[in-house]
Amino acid sequence: MNKNDNRQKRIEYTYIFKINKSSFLLDYLLDKLPLSRNSVKSILSSHKVLVNGFVVTKFDYPLAKDDEVKILKNRVDIVKNNNLDSNYKLDIIFENEDYIAINKKAGLLSIESNKEIESAYYYVSKYLSNKNPKLRPYILHRIDKETSGVLLFAKDIKLHSKLKMHWNEDVKVREYYALVEGVFEKKEGTIKSYLKLNANNLVYSTKDPNGKKAITRYKVINENKEYSLLKVEIDTGRKNQIRVHMHDLGHPIVFDEKYGYTKNPIGRLGLHASKLVFYDINKGEDIEITAALPKEFKMVF
């Protein structure tokens, strides 16, 4: 057998679009593609259209701002070629008529990338469409692939649009647990900096106010001679914010391959999104969603 036979087939796209405003899938594709109406319908029926990595065939499928629509160059068996788990069970921690939140496992993307289709969005889409073919999720925020914890989706496009307009203001609490290397002299504190991307697409701290302002508050809640467990709240939800700030303090998160870890006691990144509190504009009240501390974090102590 050829040693390459078991490799995943490369997925190639003829078009990739980022949605700027709400629309319906067929209407959007007719506007963007230099093809006849029948040709566009054929592409849809041939399972060549992905919305955020989820195969869509419905002409009236609603598109929201920031969705990604991709057209496959060749039809592929998405599940077979991306090792998607057809029996994957979502850890649903909150659901009502407007929202669904899951406890995302570490190692799963929030939403697909150009290299990987398997994502929380994919499995939530599958779950909702099985309940009601007219339902789809609308992602409100993201957490890193390596991070576990609370991930929230809206079920209604109008609600999603309203929330996305001032999401940072509507979120009251973003709480995490961080398992980091070393022992802190100062058992609680606040880190403030501006974050930028370098040429290698790696986030770093700077005093330059042209970067994105980031504020992280931490408190040590457990420790031993090698590790500290922190409860962390962030005032600003920036990419890799906690990971960068822990690196700045000289206490990198365990198994953080981006930011200089030296120890790997739990076999995964030591970061977990434990609580999200946000203002529900439909009901006029706060909603609190929590995901318990993973048992492997506790085992260290």
Which domains does the chain possess? 13-78 (3.10.290.10), 81-165 (3.30.2350.10), 167-299 (3.30.2350.10)
Cβ within 8 Å of residue 200, ≥6 positions away: none
Return the closest-CA partner of residue 173 out of 122, 236, 126, 247. Answer: 236
The structure tokens listed for 48 are: 């060549």
The structure tokens listed for 59 are: 């002409």
Q: What is the pLDDT of residue 292?
A: 97
3-state SS, residue 97: coil
Helical axes 37-45 vs 25-32, angle rounded to 10°: 130
Q: What is the pLDDT of residue 87?
A: 76
144 part of the active site: yes
Q: What is the pLDDT of residue 74?
A: 77
Spatial contact of 191 and 263, defined as CB atoms under 8 Å apart: no
Residue with tokens 């085992």, as numbered in its chain:
299
Ranges under pLDDT 70 in the chain = 1-10, 75-83, 86
The structure tokens listed for 273 are: 């999104």
Q: What is the pLDDT of residue 7?
A: 45
Q: What distance in Å separates the CA atoms of residue 98 and residue 85, rounded to the nearest whole number?
A: 26
Spatial contact of 84 and 78, defined as CB atoms under 8 Å apart: yes
Catalytic entry in 144, 170, 256, 280? 144
